[in-house]
Amino acid sequence: MATLYALFVDPFAQMWDNPEFLLEVVIGGLLSGVLYSLVALGYVLIYKASGVFNFAQGTMVLFAALTFSGCIDLHVPIWLSFIIVIAVMVVLAFGIERVVLRPLVNQEQIILFMATIGITYFLRGLGQIVWGGNVRTLDIGLPKAPMIIGGVLVNAFDLVSAAAAGSLVAILAVFFQKTAVGRALRAVADDHQAAQAVGIPLKTIWVIVWTTAGIVALVAGILWGTNLGVQFSIELVALKALPVLILGGFTSVPGAIVGGLIVGAGEKVAEVFWGPALGGAIEDWFAYMLALAFLLVRPQGLFGERIIERV
Amino acid sequence: MLYREAGQFKTSYVADQAIFPILQDRIFVALILAVAFVGIPVLAISAGAEAYWLGTIMVPLLAYALAAIGLNILTGYAGQVSLGTGGFMAVGAFAAYKLATAFPWLNVVLVFLLAGLVTAAVGIMFGFPSLRIKGFYLTVATLASQFFLIWLFNKVPWFTNYAPSGVINAPPRAVFSDIFVTGSEARPLAKYYFVLVIVTVLALAAKNLVRGRVGRAWMAIRDMDIAAEIIGIRPLQTKLLAFAVSSFYCGIAGALWAHVYTSSVEALAFDIDTSFTVLFMIIIGGLGSILGSFLGAAFITLLPLFLENVPPKLGLAISVNLVTNIQQIIFGALIVFFLIAEPRGLARLWQIGKEKLRLWPFPH
């Protein structure tokens, strides 16, 4: 009885009693969900354009953040480090396209997925050899002080990261909708063969997509790194982007954003209100269970393309 | 010349359906078994390194091979990519612990089998979504089992018999009257034989399973589930059976790992990295191959030993940290290399070798 009460009555009673607190938790969750969205966005970009479920996205976030903080530690100015890391990501994209994707063209998706797990291990080892395995702090002058807006306690850093994520999404949307390259990207995403038939160079498109994903990874890495320090747990946090992904649908950019917000808010609310009854740390698996339950109802995710199967 | 079917006529259905229809294959399997049952122990004992060779290398290798067979059944044969292997291994380990401590009179073999059955039940539970969710969506969904199960064993003290540290210590149990295979008194030799017998029996069972009706149904589902459904294979039963059998193997592998190999283990030992390790084993060994599971397990367990031991012998001083990082790079590069060179893994290379032997020494 006591357990049932703690599970089904008490959390709602708490929410009813203290709506400001609930609002605070939800806003905190939404803002941290933005960071999940950013990582998930990287997955979606690559999946849309090349049909590859890029497991290495999490490690790319870590790798970008490590390189960035490494440059900062060498007293390189911030803007220059930013450019250096982008250059590194471009090189990485070229390398991956040449060494991994090109020989594996026309292979099954599962093979490509496993290849990206290989890339994950490679980057993880490389990052540690070059930059060492220590936790690095990353401070590029983003505000961190908590502040009160309309009676609700909000972290200034969360607002900055939400703004950064928002503008990144806006830039990407313009890039996808208004530029020639963006049109080519969408064409490739729709149909590889048709895109090739009208003369869109697939290889170049892949490099561009992986570079874009690398830049998204860099932004995510800077934000996570400022928040948690640049360390390997970032990779685990990136695993949290996977439920976001299946919740929103693999092929949908808005899905990644909305999914991230749902997971972020749901996770925080669950942890704060149901966590004590279940022994705490339910954040570890809550997102996955949420996504799983959701998929049972809608197997293609919120905004995913309808799965049509033919013999 | 050496390896060919020519001249080996089968005169009965039994001979035709034998698991190893060719004499050369039978000789080869007998040789492998002889090496495993006699060669390795004799070598290890004569080298005076019984504990290291048998206890530290062979026992975990075999346990991993068993887990790899389990995952291979699910992923290689039934086509359901799972990242929950670590979670299922943990279920096996903790189920065996609870059973062994709750029923001290139960023989350890029975304990492990029951632990496998418990894991199979859990596997079925987590297999249910596979009917509706497919492909990568399912892969990600299996992560739910991984994280949830590990969290469960960490948070609920009942599973560890209220041990404050959250660590389970394998109670000493004997197969026969005083031949202990778990606990601190167990000799490495006894452990090795115990694990070897279990793995051999289960591997044979798996081999027979996958070449029979059930295995064919799994492969049909893997290749195209809608088409399989149309030719009369029930997706519900087939997929759930794959999850059950796979988890059974993974559960026993986890129990062997926790009770025979390490003797004391916490839930975190079966984290997501375990799942990935086993996945690599079957990729490198070969998807859809029982032999490949062994080859992959041997490769992945022996590669770190090789990297640790060889550079110092060559006079290269490499720090431990660097070695682990280089290992990761080599792992990653090897996986990509294997996928490009031979997406069907070491088992496929072995097949190609056999084809070559068939013609040798002639070019055509």
- Per-residue pLDDT, A202: 83
pLDDT along chain B (364 residues), means of 10: 80 88 89 93 88 90 97 93 93 95 91 96 91 82 88 89 86 83 84 94 95 94 91 93 96 95 89 89 89 93 81 71 81 84 86 86 78
Q: Minimal Cα–Cα distance from A147 to chain B, Å?
A: 34
Q: Do B325 and A288 touch (CB under 8 A)?
A: no
pLDDT number for residue A83 = 92
The highest-confidence range among A105-109, A232-236, B170-174, by mean pLDDT, is B170-174
Question: What pLDDT does residue B259 have?
Answer: 93
Q: What span, in angstroms and rounded, lies between the C-alpha atoms of B113 and B182?
A: 15
Q: What is the pLDDT of residue B246?
A: 97
Give the pLDDT mean for A28-34: 83
Residue pair A72/A140 in contact by the 8 Å Cβ criterion: yes
Pick the residue from chain A with its C-alpha nearest to B345. Answer: A111
Interface predicted TM-score of the whole assembly (ipTM), two decimals: 0.82
**What's the token pair of residue B48?**
């005076």
For A259-271, the pLDDT digits (tens) are 888 888 888 888 8
Q: How many other C-beta atoms lie within 10 A of the C-beta of residue B151?
A: 21
Domain map of chain B by residue range?
49-270
Whether residues A296 and B133 touch (CB distance < 8 A) is answered with yes
What confidence score (pLDDT) does residue B133 get?
83
Contact B144 A123 (CB under 8 A): no
Give DSSP secondary structure letters for A77-114.
Answer: -HHHHHHHHHHHHHHHHHHIIIIIITTTTT--HHHHHH
CB proximity A88 to B under 8 Å: no
pLDDT on residue A150: 67
Q: Does residue A49 surpass a pLDDT of 80? A: no
Query: What ranges do the domains of chain A cover?
Result: 32-239
Of A223-227, A229-233, A243-247, B223-227, the range with the lowest mean pLDDT is A229-233
Q: Which residues of A touch B329 (CB under 8 A)?
A: 121-122, 125-126, 129
State whether residue A2 sits within 8 Å of chain B by CB.
no
pLDDT at residue A1 is higher than 70: no
**Is A87 part of the contact surface with chain B (CB cutoff 8 Å)?**
no
Report the pLDDT value the prediction gives residue B91, as an integer from 0 to 100.
96
pLDDT at A279 over 80: no
Do the Cβ atoms of B81 and A110 come within 8 Å?
Answer: yes
Closest residue in A to B75 (Cα–Cα): A110
Contact: A296, B327; criterion CB under 8 Å:
no
Mean pLDDT value across chain A: 83
CB pairs under 8 A between A and B: 138
- Measured distance CA(B221)–CA(B215) in Å, rounded: 10
Read off the pLDDT band of A10 (50, 70, 90): confident
Which residue in the set B139, B333, B343 is minimally distant from A111, CB to CB? B343
Q: Which of B136, B155, B335 sits opposite A250 (nearest CB)?
A: B136
CB B201 within 8 A of CB B252: no
Contact at CB, B272 and A239, closer than 8 angstroms: yes
Task: Please report the pLDDT score of residue A168 as a whole number.
Answer: 86
User: A275 CB contacts (<8 Å, ≥6 apart)?
Assistant: A281, A282, A283
**Predicted confidence band of residue A151 (pLDDT cuts 50, 70, 90):** low
Please check whether residue B160 is in contact with residue B285, taking contact to mean a CB–CB distance below 8 angstroms: no
Residues in chain B with CB shorter than 8 Å from the CB of A117 are 276, 279-280, 332, 335
Q: Would you call A284 and B134 a contact, using CB atoms and an 8 Å cutoff? A: no
pLDDT digits (tens, 9 = 90+) for A171-191: 888 888 888 888 888 888 777
Interface touch B151/A284, C-beta < 8 Å: yes
Nearest Cα residue in chain B from A106: B340
Backbone angles phi, psi at B181, to 5 degrees: -115, -15
pLDDT value at position B317?
66
The answer to whether the CB atoms of A128 and B325 lie below 8 A apart is yes
**A11-18 contact pairs (CB < 8 A, 24+):** A11/A273, A11/A274, A11/A277, A14/A273, A15/A273
The alpha-carbon gap from B149 to the nearest alpha carbon of chain A, in Å, equals 9
Q: Which residue has the higher pLDDT, A305 or B138?
A: B138
User: Structure pTM?
Assistant: 0.89
Please tell me the predicted confidence (pLDDT) of residue A206: 86
Which one of B226, B322, B332 has the shortest CB-CB distance to A120? B332
Closest C-alpha among A100, A122, A102 to residue A113: A100
* Residue A150 sits at the chain B interface (C-beta within 8 Å): no
- Note the pLDDT tens digit of each residue in A190-200: 777 888 899 88
What residue of B is the nearest CA neighbor of A241? Answer: B140
Report the chain A residue with the minimal C-alpha distance to residue B130: A296
